[in-house]
Structure 1
Amino acid sequence: MYRIAIKFIELWLYTLRPKIIYSDRAQSLIASGQPYIIALWHRDLIYGLYHFRKKPGVIMVSGSKDGEWVARALRCWGQHPIRGSRYKGGKRAIMEMAKYIKERGVGAGIVADGSQGPPKKAQIGALVLSRLTNAPILPLGVAISKAKRLNTWDRLVIPYPFSRVSVTLGDPILVPKEVKGNHLEKYRKILEDGLNASAILAKRNLMESKG
């Protein structure tokens, strides 16, 4: 049942027409083979996970019942889900992710505004993971020409088939090992601004491609 549903999702998202624009520094980081952390807003979860489906990595997934679908899809795509959230098992999940990155030399993915929000307000999970692993964070932006937005806290984006998609990655953000406690706020704001800038750039690129 799950595998059939996941194959259907793959076919549906395969019809989308992506335009990919990464910053020069993001491209250099990816080309280097060094582990990196993709951070995204929860609203972009569906296409964001699909876009990186061929990149082996460890992904934090909510421990809720809905998160089980995401975890199963990730396993089908050869990725390693770790269950946890800000309110349940988040610290343990970050430590497990850090261990996995160090042992396997792979990247990671994490929803910056968590599983319950507030929306578009970065939490510290990605920052702590960067500090523990020395892996830079890449802020992801997604814009879709035709989509439905659910009436949920995150306004989750459901792309319509055959829509145009713009995907952007901003410059890497590395959190030094000595940055802890209240000092994380500076980097939290940098990440939040980077995610919003990537989203704006993705939308601009989508409008330009339409013209």
Structure 2
Amino acid sequence: MPLRKRCKKFFKSLLQSRLVLAAISTLIYWYARLVGRTTEWQTQGVDELYRVWEKEGSFIFIGWHGRAMMLPYFWNRSHPLNALVSLHHDGRMIAGLLEKFGMGTIGGSSTENGKNAALELMRSLQKGEAIAIIPDGPKGPSMTLSRSAVYFAQKSGKPIIGATYSIAGSKIVEKSWDKMMLPKPFSRGCYYATEAFYIPADADETRLEEYRRTIENRLNQLTWEADKAMGIKHIEKGTVARKRYPAPAPKSEKA
């Protein structure tokens, strides 16, 4: 087997180890804390987000996969929040990161444990807890809103609020499916939140699609505005879904 393939297989096996994933998520957490504390932030809509949170008790929080790292930074720890995460290795890394920020996590996606995860998320909303969804993950296309958040808002009566950010001098991983931003510490940053979107309980499929597009366009608009303000190259939304495979069973701690 060629060396390149052996290395790729080795690193893939490492990502199936709980210990390795825990170590990676810990490193990401402390890096995110460093970025958050050393960035000169300009915020927009965050006060409104907190106001809606106090009024409603719970809501559906969304953000793009490529901007997931810093999304939890402005979260108010006094409010319970449960995030939907993929059962794949990248989802488990995100789960570790969110748990270190004090958030709860629920494992599942449209193809993995979807029904049980949906029931748990609805219970969270009914108990007055917020939920978080990455609506373009785990399979994309990037910056494209899936229907899941819209359906949760319709069934629960709770609003959807999106957030995004950009940090000057950050690197965009062009070859990644989600065009992930690797934020740079000791810089300037924007953290923008959308207004609250309420979905009528009697909305038909046509209106649900209209709401979906409106929310997607708004979150993309804020992302592009933040990038422009920080001098980051314009990123187009994705057009192709990511190839996915069934989530591998995690190896034991001895892996």
Common topology (TM > 0.5) = yes
The structure-2 alpha-carbon separation of the partners of 1:198 and 1:91, relative to structure 1 and needing over 3 Å to count, comes to farther
1:32 is matched with 55
| Aligned-partner SS, 2:179 | coil
1:16 is matched with 39
User: Which of the pair is proportionally richer in strand?
Assistant: 1
| Aligned-partner SS, 1:143 | strand
| Aligned-partner SS, 1:188 | helix
Q: CA deviation at 1:23?
A: 7.2
Instruction: Select between 35-44 and 24-33 the one with higher mean Cα deviation.
Output: 24-33
Instruction: Select between 107-116 and 172-181 the one with higher mean Cα deviation.
Output: 172-181
1:158 is matched with 182
Distance, in Å, in 2 between the alignment partners of 1:115 and 1:53 is 25
- Pair 1:63 & 2:117 matched: no
CA RMSD in angstroms, aligned pairs only: 2.4
CA contact (8 A) 2:124 2:130 kept: no
The structure-2 alpha-carbon separation of the partners of 1:180 and 1:97, relative to structure 1 and needing over 3 Å to count, comes to farther
Q: State the structure with more CA Rg.
A: 2
Aligned pairs for 1:111-122 within 5 A: 111-122=134-145
CA contact (8 A) 2:86 2:109 kept: yes
CA contact (8 A) 1:141 1:201 kept: no
| Aligned-partner SS, 1:152 | coil
CA contact (8 A) 2:82 2:121 kept: yes
TM-score normalised by L of structure 2 = 0.72
Q: CA deviation at 1:28?
A: 3.7
- Pair 1:198 & 2:219 matched: no
The structure-2 alpha-carbon separation of the partners of 1:188 and 1:199, relative to structure 1 and needing over 3 Å to count, comes to same
2:112 is matched with 88
- Pair 1:188 & 2:212 matched: yes
Distance, in Å, in 2 between the alignment partners of 1:118 and 1:42 is 10
Distance, in Å, in 2 between the alignment partners of 1:92 and 1:180 is 25
Distance, in Å, in 2 between the alignment partners of 1:180 and 1:76 is 39
Distance, in Å, in 2 between the alignment partners of 1:191 and 1:16 is 28
| Alignment-mate amino acid for residue 163 of structure 1 | S
1:99 is matched with 123
TM-score normalised by L of structure 1 = 0.85
- Pair 1:134 & 2:134 matched: no
Identical amino acids, percent of aligned pairs: 24
1:143 is matched with 166
| Aligned-partner SS, 2:139 | coil
Distance, in Å, in 2 between the alignment partners of 1:5 and 1:46 is 12
- Pair 1:169 & 2:209 matched: no
| Aligned-partner SS, 1:99 | helix
Q: CA deviation at 1:177?
A: 1.8
| Aligned-partner SS, 2:69 | helix
Q: What runs of 5+ residues in structure 1 fail to find an aligned partner?
A: none
Instruction: Select between 52-61 and 118-127 the one with higher mean Cα deviation.
Output: 52-61
Q: CA deviation at 1:185?
A: 0.9
CA contact (8 A) 2:63 2:163 kept: yes
Aligned residues: 206
Q: What runs of 5+ residues in structure 2 fail to find an aligned partner?
A: 1-18, 232-255
CA contact (8 A) 2:85 2:95 kept: yes
CA contact (8 A) 1:57 1:80 kept: yes
4+ residue runs over 6 A deviation = none
| Alignment-mate amino acid for residue 96 of structure 1 | E
